[in-house]
Amino acid sequence: MERFLRIDRRIIFAIITVAVIVSLILRFELPIPPSEPVQGVYEKIESLPKGSHVMIAFDYDPSSKEELQPMAIAFLHHCFSRELKVIGMTHYTGAPGLADQAMTSVASQYQKKNGEDYTFLGYKPGGASLIINMGENLYSAFPKDFYGNDTTTLPVLQGVDSLREIDFLFDLAAGTTIETWIVFGKEKYKFEFGAGCTAVMGPDMYPFLQSKQLAGLLGGLKGAAEYEALVGKKANAVSGMRPQSVVHVIIILFVIFGNIVYFTSGRARRA
Amino acid sequence: MRKDSNFFILVGSIGLFVCINIFLMASGKLPFSSDGFGIILGAGLTLAVYSFLYKDNPAFKIAENLYVGVSLGYTIIITWFNFLKPDLYDPLIVPMFSKAAEKAPQYALIFPSLLGIFMLLRFSRKLSWLSRWTFAFVVGLGAGVSIPRVISAFILEQIKPSLHPVFSGGETILSSINTLLIMLGVISVLIYFIFSVEHKGAIGKMSKIGIWFLMISFGASFGYTVMGRLSLLIGRIQFLLKDWLGILQ
């Protein structure tokens, strides 16, 4: 039994990798029922009338792309299919490429035009002060969009002077931006707010759901998969649920096995 | 002997990677274009980073250093074109020195620009004292803006649902149980963190309940962390199998 406690960790890495590859190649369906927080974001978008303004904050970079980019794409599908006006921006220097790619590729599927139906304002530093600036005057915070156009001339921004005129703001966060948006944006300028975050941050965000400071929450790849299923655009997140489920079972078995070996080996008694 | 075997493993892996890419391009699975070479580069760097799981090696070191350099360069370019150029250079510097400029210079930008420059003077022994003005401005402004908003959003708004009545009419039994659990969790965890009273008797029992709540919370966080890290692995393997090797559709 002792030798199982000294198992080379590379064997565990190999097992996990093989499990992921096999479960990606073998196609089998798993039910993906939407959870209440994900449903909250979906229903909020469903409730918005045509032409409403939705702002997406792409607050992540390539290191969190695997979790948050599928969320962004599924959310954009939902917005464009509902004929909503989409405004993108980011607090992260690493995000513009990803955000532009997501917005352009999804918009082209719905024949949406840049500047008329959507715009990407780009990156600005400042965090809290940027949010306050946007809350007072969006055009002074972003005089030009990511493509160099004067924002005051953009038809998509007609009727929007500040964050107060945003009907729903959705933050895709890999850091602490959800809290920043709540503290300096939502509480002061009173817009409806939802978020998508990496799984690591998920548990910390639940208190904001309970206090209704968040209308809904997409947590990690699972949240993205639920949203993809809800909007009927099953892609990478949904197919990622197969290896996720299989590897979770393997990890649970490893934990049980490790505990059995630990207690039967006599180490527990010695400890 | 051991060093030789590591060298041969590295050279063999690189050779195998090159052969696979030649085959993929020759068979038309990867386009002979910048897109194709981009995918090859992405695949190579992904494999180089994951090779650390086997052992630290030169391929991992190259990928690690490349990441630091590229991300810094990218940050500088994005900051210039998204922030410094449209918000400072175009409205202040260009009109000041160009007669062809249509708009008057925005002189109000000089003050914040100077504060920014003062921050960089920390590198100078003689002038580093000027950076204190910037820090004083940042700390004063930050505290003034943050304190009331943080108290409102994080404390007052969070207390409201914690004080939600257990039976106010219309709620389900499960939601009432949920409210009771929240109340028990908040009180017991707060008691656990009171260190000025000895944890004996009723206080000791409540603090033990608090520990259980904390353990469950840590477990949930750990579970989510495992899920998050696994999602990154799944994403990279999807990229390798779908975009690079073309096995997945």
pLDDT digits over A84-139, tens only?
999 999 999 999 999 999 999 999 999 999 999 999 999 999 999 999 999 999 99
Identify whether residues A17 and A69 lie together within a single domain.
no
Domains in chain B, number: 3
Burial track B86-113 (b if 16+ CB lie within 10 A, e otherwise):
bbbebbbbebeeeeeeeeebeeeeeeee
Q: What is the mean pLDDT of residues A212-239?
A: 95
Structure token digits, residue B34: 């910048």
- Same-domain pairing of A264 and A214: no
Spatial CA neighbour of A38 closest among A242, A245, A211, A219? A219
Chain B residues touching residue A125 (CB < 8 angstroms): 79, 83
Residues B158 and B208 in one domain: no
Residue A91: domain span: 36-242
Please tell me whether residues B36 and B87 are part of one structural domain: yes
Distance CA A109, CA A54 (A): 18
- Residues of B engaging A, defined by a Cβ cutoff of 8 Å: 53-54, 71, 74-75, 78-79, 82-83, 86-87, 91, 142, 145-146, 149-150, 152-154, 157-158, 160-161, 182, 217, 220-221, 224-228, 230-238, 241, 247-248
Residue at a domain's end among B52, B79, B98: B98
Q: Which of A10, A122, A210 faces B53 most closely, judged by CB atoms?
A: A10
**Is residue A171 located within the same domain as residue A251?**
no
Residues B176 and B132 in one domain: no
Summarize chain B as % helix, strand, coil (round to 5).
Answer: 80, 0, 20
Percent of chain A with pLDDT over 70: 99
Query: Cα separation of A126 and A145, whole Å?
Result: 17
- Note the pLDDT of residue A250: 96
SS3 A120: strand
Which residue, A133, A134, A131, A75, is CA-closest to A99? A75
CA separation for the pair B20, B95 (Å, rounded): 55
Across chain A, mean pLDDT equals 94
By C-alpha distance, the chain B residue nearest A185 is B149
Min mean pLDDT across A190-204, B174-188, B206-220 is at: B174-188
Asked whether the predicted pLDDT for residue B2 surpasses 70, the reply is: no
3-state helix, strand, coil split of chain A in percent (to 5) is 60, 15, 30
Same domain? For B127 and B204 the reply is: no
Give per-residue pLDDT as tens, A34-81: 999 999 999 999 999 999 999 999 999 999 999 999 999 999 999 999
Confirm whether A97 is domain-assigned.
yes
**B159 and B178 both lie in a single domain:** no
Is A187 within the bounds of a domain?
Answer: yes
Q: A91 and A130 in contact (C-beta within 8 Å)?
A: yes
Q: For the residues A163-167, what does the mean pLDDT come to?
A: 97
A250 and A159 fall within a common domain: no
Asked whether the beta carbons of residue A220 and residue B227 sit closer than 8 angstroms, the reply is yes
Q: What is the CATH number of the domain that holds A98?
A: 3.40.50.1220
Q: Pick from B73, B98, B123: which residue ends a domain?
A: B98
A110 and A221 assigned to the same domain: yes
B15/B91 same-domain check:
yes
- In chain B, residues with a C-beta closer than 8 Å to the C-beta of A183 are 146, 149-150, 153-154
User: How many structural domains comprise chain A?
Assistant: 2
Q: A124 CB contacts (<8 Å, ≥6 apart)?
A: A89, A91, A130, A141, A142, B82, B83, B87
Same domain, yes or no: A103 and A14: no
Kindly report the nearest CA distance between residue B155 and chain A, in angstroms.
11
Examine residue A31 and state whether it is found in any structural domain, yes or no.
no
| Cα of B236 to nearest chain A Cα, Å | 8
Q: Which residues of A touch B72 (CB under 8 A)?
A: none
Of A132, A200, A207, the CB nearest to B224: A200
Name which of A210, A246, A230 is nearest A78 in CA terms.
A230
In this model, does residue B1 exceed pLDDT 70? no
Give the count of beta carbons closer than 10 Å to the beta carbon of residue A206. 14
Is A67 in Cβ contact with B231 (below 8 Å)?
Answer: yes
| Residues A227 and A263 reside in one and the same domain | no
Residue A271: what pLDDT?
67
Query: Which domain covers residue B121, as residue numbers?
Result: 106-163
Q: Over pLDDT 90: what percentage of chain B?
A: 75
Q: Are A13 and A106 found together in one domain?
A: no
Q: Are residues B78 and B123 in the same domain?
A: no
What pLDDT, in 10s, does the model give residues B37-93?
999 999 999 999 999 999 899 999 999 999 999 999 999 999 999 899 988 999 999
One domain, residues A70 and A199: yes
Enumerate the residues of chain A whose CB falls inside 8 A of the CB of residue B150: 183
Last residue of a domain, one of B75, B98, B121: B98
Q: What percentage of chain A exceeds 90 in pLDDT?
A: 89
Q: Which two tokens stand for residue A198?
A: 């990496």
Give the Cβ contact number of residue B213 at 10 Å.
17
Q: For residue A117, what pLDDT is reported?
A: 97
Residue A159 and residue A184 in one domain: yes
| B9 and B68 within one domain | yes
The rounded distance, in Å, linking the Cα atoms of B220 and A2 is: 30
Between these two residues, A72 and B163, which has the higher pLDDT value? A72
Indicate whether B91 and B110 sit together in one domain. Answer: no
pLDDT mean across residues, chain B: 91
Residues A79 and A132 in one domain: yes
How much is the average pLDDT of B159-186? 83
Quick one: angle between helices B58-79 and B2-26, nearest 10? 60
B114 and B58, same domain (yes or no): no
Residues B12 and B86 in one domain: yes
Provide the residue type at A177 as one letter.
Answer: T
Instruction: Name chain A contacts of B235, Cβ cutoff 8 Å.
Output: 65-67, 221, 236, 240
State how far the Cα of A165 lies from the Cα of A188, in Å rounded to an integer.
13
Whether A95 and A222 share a structural domain? yes
pLDDT of the residue at B193 = 94
Per the domain annotation, does A29 fall within a domain?
no
Helix (H) or strand (E) holding B217: helix B201-238
Whether the pLDDT of residue B245 is over 60: the answer is yes
The interface predicted TM-score of the complex, written ipTM, equals 0.90
Judging contacts by C-beta atoms under 8 Å, the chain B residues touching residue A213 are 153, 157
How confident is residue B35, by pLDDT bands cut at 50, 70 and 90?
very high
